[in-house]
Amino acid sequence: MEDQQYHTLLFGLDSHSHIPNLSSVAIEEFLDHKPVACRWWPRLIGWESRLLWLLSGASIVVSIFNYMLSFVTLMFTGHLGALELAGASIASVGIQGLAYGIMLGMASAVQTVCGQAYGARQYSAMGIICQRAIILHLGAAVLLTFLYWFSGPILIAMGQSKSIAEQGQVFARGLILQIYAFAISCPMQRYLQAQNIVNPLAFMSVGVFVVHVLLTWLVVYVLNYGLLGAALTLSFSWWLLVIVNGLYILLSPSCKETWTGFSWKAFRGIWPYFKLTLASAVMLCLEIWYNQGLVLISGLLSNPTIALDSISICMNYLNWDMQFMLGLAAAASVRVSNELGAGHPRVAKFSVFVVNGTSILISIVFSAIILIFKVGLSKLFTSDSEVIEAVSDLTPLLAISVFLNGIQPILSGVAIGSGWQAVVAYVNLATYYIIGLPIGCVLGFKTSLGVAGIWWGMIIGVLLQTLTLIILTGRTNWHTEVEKAANRLKSSAAEENSDLITST
């Protein structure tokens, strides 16, 4: 009987028309028969790639266009003047980036638990998890409000010049409303992605982006509301995104099984979920803040305005690339968490290999584009010849970072899908802050390298972190990860049953 099923699978793989119709269960059984002949691997890769791109294509659009909201705002403020660009950049990196790192990190717990719940067909738990996440995010937003309001003195305490800190505070205060939009939007988007609802998210993100470009142009150029107007417009656009995402969840038939309405259950059993959320936040925050910390440090160099502008422009392009890879990583996270929840360790492992190979090929192309168009890329932000020259000098290092981004975010996405956030947090702390950051400071301030020295420190930290994640992923026992996912879902189900008994 088993041989008959195996030959049926071979027939499915032998016909391209049948490949899309094969289920994860069938592929799991096929991979269980070892060794798998070499001639089957291209078709297996084709099967996995199709599923990956169905998810990642829209996820990449969502990630990029959400990031482009801030990107476009900085482009408009850059044409107000070098000082305004420096102030907006330092606030965007040091203050807004801090909040976004926390929100995005906390939301990765939604990817883990909701993704595994969806794979295990425990649909009713997903809406409760999303609501629980929003409650924790809003609590974090209240605390972050103080950081935004007093951002001026904080930036001065970090060593930034008074003029740059003042402009940064104006921009940051205009973004206070955005924190609360982050707090609601991040969990909602991860909740939708976990159940493979990505195309509607992409359409909504693109629509809001188009509106944002028009509004920012109107506010900055036509109405002349300057830096504060640009920041308030950015906050408004994020709230517009929250509204359209929320309406989709409430009204769409696609969410009727996973969204059963608002419930007090979201407040129960919040502590175990908070621990995973905290580990998730620390993991991604250490990663995001590392890049942002290097921008802040560059403001302490001898010519802070040129240093800040040049590294901020390069970092924006690196972040643009990272958003593309984060979209791919989100898809990888969903694929891995779904397969682990469904009890398919071999398919989960195979998905990891396919997504990493795909991302490396894409990164080679992106690195080549950076090197070819290095002058033109800087002119999108500024017409200052000194800044353009400084950016051109940094582009080889930017190309190296872009290549490394083809591996590192994907492995982080796998970690999120598997629930390894706490382990990766320790890895990030060691490779970034104990090794990479001190090396960058020494090269930046004690040698003639300046900004380039700071960037070399970042490259070394990311390289070490990437190598560590490769080793961790390579040594993973995927059958054990399936058991961990099952235990996590049993614990969540026990909490739901406990709530039901208490209510009756």
In the numeric block, the tokens 């020494």 are attached to 442
For range 11-16, the mean pLDDT: 48
pTM over 0.75: no
* Cis before 438 (ω within 30): no
Assess whether pLDDT exceeds 70 at residue 343: yes
Q: What is the pLDDT of residue 504?
A: 36
Residues 6+ apart with CB under 8 A from 420: 472
Listed as own residue / partner, the contacts of 306-309 with beta carbons closer than 8 Å and 24 or more positions apart are 306/386, 306/387, 306/390, 307/390, 307/450, 307/451, 308/86, 308/89, 308/90, 308/164, 309/82, 309/85, 309/86, 309/89, 309/381, 309/382, 309/384, 309/387, 309/390
Contact 167, 87 (CB under 8 A): yes
Measured CA distances, 399 to 368, 371, 372 (Å): 7, 7, 10
Which is higher by pLDDT, 130 or 160? Answer: 130
How many helices (H) does the chain have, and how many strands (E)? Answer: 21, 0
Distance of CA 435 to the CA centre of its chain: 23
| pLDDT cut 90: percent of the chain above it | 8
Instruction: Give the residue extent of every domain in the chain.
Output: 58-268, 279-497
What value does the CA radius of gyration of the chain take, rounded to a whole number of Å? 23
Q: What is the pLDDT of residue 218?
A: 92
| pLDDT cut 70: percent of the chain above it | 81
Q: What is the pLDDT of residue 237?
A: 95
Residue-by-residue DSSP string for 26-87: HHHHHHHSSSPPGGGHHHHHHHHHHHHHHHHHHHHHHHHHHHHHHHHHHHHHHTT-HHHHHH
